[in-house]
């Protein structure tokens, strides 16, 4: 039975049986939610203000008591910082690799590594990852939601991965880990007609957002009178010696669905023997305990993964680049305002005029008139120009220093953007500067990888719990060919009598590489080929050399060389056997086979070098320059 069917059955039974979650429990939950909202007010104000900074409307946050007619320039230095850091994060888009902890789970881990990219692609995870990176850079924290959507795939259900909005998520104040919270609430306004179509019992109970919450100041005038706030309430309980995650969806004091109220066991239709007809028939077979015992998710964890940029004590959320750089950005904007105002004043001449002066002001201000009329004598003190002193150069230098301060504070120096200071020409110096400039991006990317690994483990747990029926996935085989496989959770579930279910580790690496990385990898492969690393008679020396090297795909190359060595040894063994037979039965061929047996007739090295277009030019380039370019490309990616 799917989620919607359990919700309908729950509404039918709740009318006759007093459920564990009713109006009293919802009122208590609403009080807890209001307490969480009060504890999160400072964070929400900061998040809303950061969004104004991102939209270059930071003057709203300034304590400005100046002339309201003055221009308020908003420079994009901080905007450029976030844009560059987001580009570094997207360039290191992650890819999962599932590794088994036991030898018997190798095949299952390989299948999971193949189907997980399909699940991520079906969820448009590349866009979700990009949006979460924007959220992380601007607000300091990115949040993923990993849930099970029973309405996906025509009711079959599948994993749903989305970006969670921080302003709609509430947890216990003062914690550092979301799993430590006693309750977690997620608020989402939904259309009234949609709610009534799915839950008719809400008739007359809808209308407006009864729970006030902080909102962003958007460009559009958002008015939602036909929407009602729906609350997803997650909470943990100790049942049977383990922690169980329960879930309740409610509106006001009306329960729409609650796992504690759901006593129906999930079932699937399977063919069973029919003794009456001697054939088979379809029968609903329970596959797990009911939600009131089992809970929402078997792993017992809240379906939210937090990724903080700059952690702070006493908060589950961190600081972003706006929080770090808005001080220098405000000073830059104020200095820009002063410099611009001084330039406008100096470029716009103004005059003092005596009240008894005889100059026609309109004709004097109109530069198209060749004559200006005056009455009487024109004295030197009739008109006097207002002189505006230009700002000393030191103030322009202060503005430039503030811009440099913002760059260094946020790790967005000129070297990060591909520029170096004048006079720096040594390749080693350039490589050192670029290596140092990419440290902050690598640290942020590694943090995202750790959160990504937690998210992948949650996806595996959803597969373990809900993939009762097999489904087809299109994967890429070991040789690059397209394959179609059927997969279910048969081997992921706990087997009867077994000590536990299979456990896997998740390794994360960058999925995409720049053009220079691919070129360097191809050149390395050609160099190994030309040096004879793949000649079987040199396999022992090649293995010793490869074990000391470190590059992407080293293990696969080492495995290939070892396999060639094993094949070569086996070939020599059979050659010796053939030599013995030849010496006995065909002595005239013994000399030829003797050379093969000793390895003298093995395939010779290629007669000429393989050259690619532009390879000669790259060979002329000093090695330190190639290493400098390679270090520059890898500066923003974790090692």
Q: Is the model's pLDDT at 3 over the cut of 80?
A: no
At 176 the three-state DSSP class reads: coil
Q: What Å distances lie between residue 282 and 206, 270, 274, 626, CA to CA?
A: 41, 5, 9, 66
Q: How far is CA 618 from CA 430, 439, 520, 624, 627, in A?
A: 19, 28, 11, 12, 12
Per-residue pLDDT tens over the stretch 44-97: 999 999 999 999 998 888 876 677 778 888 888 999 999 989 988 998 899 898
| Residue 528: per-residue pLDDT | 80
Q: Give residue-wise pLDDT tens across range 592-606.
A: 666 655 554 444 444
Q: Tell me if 636 sits within 8 A of 436, measured CB to CB.
A: no
Predicted confidence (pLDDT) at residue 466 exceeds the cutoff of 80: yes
4-18, 114-128, 347-361: least confident range: 4-18
Rounded Cα gap, residues 463 and 109, in angstroms: 13
Q: Which residues pair with 508 in a beta bridge?
A: 96
Q: Is the dihedral of CA 191, 195, 197, 201 positive or negative?
A: negative
Contact 473, 117 (CB under 8 A): no
SS3 category, 433:
helix
Q: Which of 189-193, 423-427, 439-443 has the highest mean pLDDT?
A: 189-193
**What angle in degrees, to the nearest 10, is found between the helix axes of 41-54 and 125-139?**
100
Kindly state the average pLDDT of the residues 107-114.
90
- 209 alpha carbon, distance to own chain's centre: 31
Q: Which residue has the higher pLDDT, 296 or 542?
A: 296
Across residues 529-553, what is the average pLDDT?
A: 80
Report the share of the chain in percent with pLDDT over 90. 32
Which has more confidence, 420 or 120? 120
pLDDT of res. 435: 59
**Nearest residue to 601 via CA among 592, 588, 610:** 592
Helix, strand, or coil here: 149? strand
Half-sphere exposure of 21 (CA within 13 A, CB side): 25
Mean pLDDT of the chain: 81
pLDDT at residue 280, as a whole number = 81
Rounded CA separation 32/271 (Å): 47
The torsion angle over the Cα atoms of residues 368, 372, 373 and 374, rounded to 10 degrees, is 150
CA distances from 436 to 90, 216, 629, 635, 636 (A): 20, 36, 14, 8, 10
Of the pLDDT bands very low, low, confident and very high (cuts 50, 70, 90), residue 430 is low
CA dihedral of residues 289, 294, 299, 304 (deg, nearest 10): 130
- DSSP helix/strand/coil, 256: strand
Is pLDDT of 340 > 90? no
The pLDDT of residue 379 is above 80: no
pLDDT at 389: 82
pLDDT over 50 at 316, yes or no: yes
Q: Which residue has the higher pLDDT, 567 or 9?
A: 567
Residue 190 reports pLDDT greater than 80: yes
The rounded distance, in Å, linking the Cα atoms of 385 and 373 is: 19
Q: Which of 60, 416, 46, 26 is nearest to 248 (CA)?
A: 26
Tokens standing for residue 234: 């997650």
Top-confidence residue, 584 or 619: 584
- Which of the four pLDDT bands, split at 50, 70 and 90, describes residue 454? very high
Residue 237, both tokens: 């309980």
Q: Which pLDDT tens digit goes with each residue over 234-280?
A: 999 998 888 999 999 999 889 999 999 998 887 777 777 877 777 78
Q: What is the pLDDT of residues 601-624, one digit of tens each?
A: 444 444 344 444 444 444 455 565
Residue 195 has pLDDT above 60, yes or no: yes
Question: In angstroms, how far is CA 631 from the centroid of its own chain?
Answer: 24
Higher pLDDT, 145 or 639: 145
Burial (Cβ within 10 Å: 0-12, 13-18, ≥19) of residue 372: middle
Counting Cα atoms < 13 Å in the Cβ hemisphere of 6 gives: 21
pTM score, whole prediction:
0.76
């Amino acid at each position: 039975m799917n989620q919607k069917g359990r919700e309908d059955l729950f509404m039918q039974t709740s009318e006759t049986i007093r459920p564990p979650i009713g109006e009293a429990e919802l009122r208590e939950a609403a009080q807890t939610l209001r307490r969480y909202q009060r504890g999160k007010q400072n964070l929400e104000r900061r998040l809303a203000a950061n969004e104004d900074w991102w939209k270059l409307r930071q003057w709203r946050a300034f304590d400005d008591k100046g002339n309201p007619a003055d221009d308020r320039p908003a420079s994009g230095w901080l905007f450029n910082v976030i844009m560059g850091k987001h580009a570094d994060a997207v360039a290191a888009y992650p890819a999962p690799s599932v590794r088994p902890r036991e030898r018997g789970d190798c095949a299952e881990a390989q299948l999971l590594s193949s189907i997980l990219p399909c699940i991520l692609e079906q969820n448009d995870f590349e866009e979700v990852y990009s949006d979460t990176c924007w959220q992380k850079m601007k607000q300091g924290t990115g949040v993923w939601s990993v849930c099970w959507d029973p309405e996906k795939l025509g009711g079959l259900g599948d994993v749903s991965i989305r970006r969670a909005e921080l302003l709609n998520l509430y947890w216990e104040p003062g914690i550092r880990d979301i799993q430590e919270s006693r309750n977690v609430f997620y608020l989402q306004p939904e259309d009234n007609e949609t709610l009534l179509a799915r839950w008719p019992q809400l008739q007359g109970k809808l209308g407006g957002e009864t729970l006030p919450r902080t909102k962003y100041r958007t460009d559009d005038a958002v008015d939602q009178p036909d929407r009602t706030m729906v609350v997803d309430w997650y909470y943990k309980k100790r049942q049977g010696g383990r922690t169980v995650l329960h879930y309740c969806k409610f509106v006001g004091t009306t329960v729409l669905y609650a796992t504690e109220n759901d006593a129906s066991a999930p079932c699937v239709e399977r063919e069973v023997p029919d003794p009456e007809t001697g054939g088979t028939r379809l029968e609903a077979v329970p596959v797990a305990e009911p939600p009131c015992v089992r809970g929402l998710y078997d792993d017992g964890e809240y379906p939210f993964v937090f990724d903080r940029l700059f952690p702070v004590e006493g908060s589950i959320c961190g600081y972003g680049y706006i929080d770090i750089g808005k001080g220098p950005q405000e000073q830059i904007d104020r200095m820009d305002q002063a410099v611009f105002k001084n330039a406008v004043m100096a470029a716009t001449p103004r005059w003092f005029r005596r009240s008894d002066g005889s100059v026609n002001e309109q004709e004097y201000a109109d530069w198209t008139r060749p004559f200006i009329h005056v009455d009487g004598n024109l004295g030197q003190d009739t008109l006097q120009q207002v002189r505006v002193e230009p700002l000393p150069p030191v103030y322009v230098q202060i503005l430039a220093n503030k811009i440099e301060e913002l760059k260094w504070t946020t790790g967005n120096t000129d070297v990060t953007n591909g520029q170096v200071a004048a006079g720096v020409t040594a390749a080693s110096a350039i490589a050192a500067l670029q290596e140092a400039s990419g440290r902050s991006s690598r640290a942020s990317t590694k943090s995202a990888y750790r959160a990504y690994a937690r998210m992948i483990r949650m996806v595996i747990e959803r597969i373990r719990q809900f993939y009762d029926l097999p489904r087809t996935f299109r994967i890429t085989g070991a040789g690059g060919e397209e394959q179609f496989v059927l997969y279910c959770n048969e081997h992921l579930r706990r087997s009867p009598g077994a000590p536990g279910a299979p456990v896997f580790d998740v390794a994360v690496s960058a999925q995409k590489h720049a053009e220079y990385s691919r070129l360097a990898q191809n050149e390395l492969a050609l160099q190994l080929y030309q040096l004879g690393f793949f000649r079987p008679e040199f396999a022992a020396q090649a293995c010793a050399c490869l074990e000391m090297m470190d590059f992407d795909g080293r293990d696969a190359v080492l495995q290939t060389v070892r396999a060639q060595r094993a094949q070569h040894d086996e070939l020599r063994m059979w050659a010796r056997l053939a030599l013995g037979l030849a010496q006995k039965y065909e002595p005239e061929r013994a000399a030829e086979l003797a050379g093969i047996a000793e390895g003298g007739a093995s395939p010779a090295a290629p007669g000429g070098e393989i050259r690619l277009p532009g390879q000669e030019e790259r060979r002329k380039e000093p090695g330190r320059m190639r290493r400098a370019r390679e270090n520059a490309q890898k500066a923003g990616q974790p090692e």
